[in-house]
Amino acid sequence: MNHAIISCLHANLPATEAVLNDIDRQGIDTITCLGDLVGYGPQPNEVVELIRKRDIATCQGCWDEDIIDGLNACECSYPSQLAERRGHLAHQWTDDQLTDENKSFLASLPTSLRRDRLLFVHGSPNSQHEYLLPDMDAFAALERVETAGADILFCGHTHQPYVRELRDGSIRVRLQNADHECDQGEELTLPMRKIVNAGSVGEPRHGSTNATYVIHNDATDEVEIKEVPYDVGRTCQAIVEAGLPKVFAWRLSHGFEFAEQAEDASHVCER
């Protein structure tokens, strides 16, 4: 059976509507959302209410968490003071706009969802703030999936959709204990695991303005990355009219990241 995974909606209603319509057209009725319903975009209440109305299983993203708990992440959140100021401005604006009911909904979201061997998180099983980038250390990537007890880990947060299959892994070790001579060593065979990043519905950063999401077939484990065009201009105009930083509209209209990208994939927020 096919099911759809969406992430990082970022208060972009036209993109969210376009993606949900695309999923509906394919007759897929199981949708999982990996969080970040709000932040950066101009329609936080509308997007949260749409997800609530559709009763879409959702886990909490870093923006959702920050709106509820306040901005208390360590310095890893922003790569520069300029980016930090923009982020704080968007945070304050979103905080002012969101209704108490919608904030309660965000507060109620779990940090992960699990269906059998499938695990759904926003950033990583460690933290909503950890980036699992497509080229991160393969052993560290496998450790995230394996330690979480999953076969396939679905994540978002990077805004770049990808499917990474980790296979044919092994580690040879040699042990010396205090009371024993060195052993002959042994080899651990590592399991095959997969990381699927759903990209971003509301703020794509993969080089195109199209919204992205993924479809997974739980019988074959095949994953398809989907791109959906939407009315980017409408969202950009709403960003400017809302008084949010114009650079949010600029980067949305270009489809790539503007400075704000974590360089250290292994960093875990120490909040």
Partner 1 sequence: MIERWALVSGLRGDLETYDLIQRDLKKTRGVTSLFVLGDLVGPERNCDALLDRLKNPHSGDLKPDCIYGWWEEQLLAERGFRGERKADALRLSQGEDAVSALLNTVNPSHLKWLASLQFGFIELDCALIHGSSSDVGDNLTSETSPLILLDRLTRLNVNRLFTARSTKQFHLELTGGGINSQVKDLNGKREQQQEVPKRSVIGIGAGLNYTLYDVGSDKTHFLTAGSKTNPKRKGFA
Contacting residues toward partner 1, per CB under 8 A = 134-135, 137-143, 146-147, 160-178, 182, 185, 187-188, 190, 206-208, 212, 223, 225, 227, 266, 268
Determine the Cα–Cα distance for residues 121 and 156; give it in Å rounded to an integer: 7
* Shortest distance (Å) from residue 179 CB to partner 1: 8
Nearer to partner 1, 53 or 172 (CB): 172
Distances in Å between the Cα of 65 and the Cα atoms of 95, 146, 194 are 12, 25, 26
Task: Supply the minimum distance, in Å, between the C-beta of residue 102 and partner 1.
Answer: 26
Q: What is the largest CA-CA distance in the chain?
A: 72
Give the residue with the Cβ less far from partner 1, 38 or 132: 132
Tell me how far, at minimum, the Cβ of 204 lies from partner 1, in Å.
Answer: 10
Residue type, 154: F
Give the shortest CB-187-to-partner 1 separation in angstroms: 7
Shortest approach of partner 1 to residue 241 CB, angstroms?
31
Q: What are phi and psi of 156, to 5 degrees?
A: -135, -130
CB of 147 to partner 1, least distance (A): 7
- Between 96 and 135, name the residue whose CB sits nearer to partner 1: 135
Give the nearer residue to partner 1 in terms of CB position, either 178 or 219.
Answer: 178
- Nearer to partner 1 among residue 106 and residue 142 (C-beta): 142
Q: Write out the two tokens for 18.
A: 């376009």
Measured from the CB atom, the residue of 229 and 243 that comes closer to partner 1 is: 229
**Counting every residue, how long is the chain?**
271
For residue 130, give the nearest of 142, 138, 117, 121 by alpha carbon. 121
Q: Shortest CA distance to 163 belongs to which of 198, 129, 136, 191? A: 198
Pairwise CA distance, residues 247 & 262, whole Å: 18
Q: Which two tokens stand for residue 57?
A: 């299983």
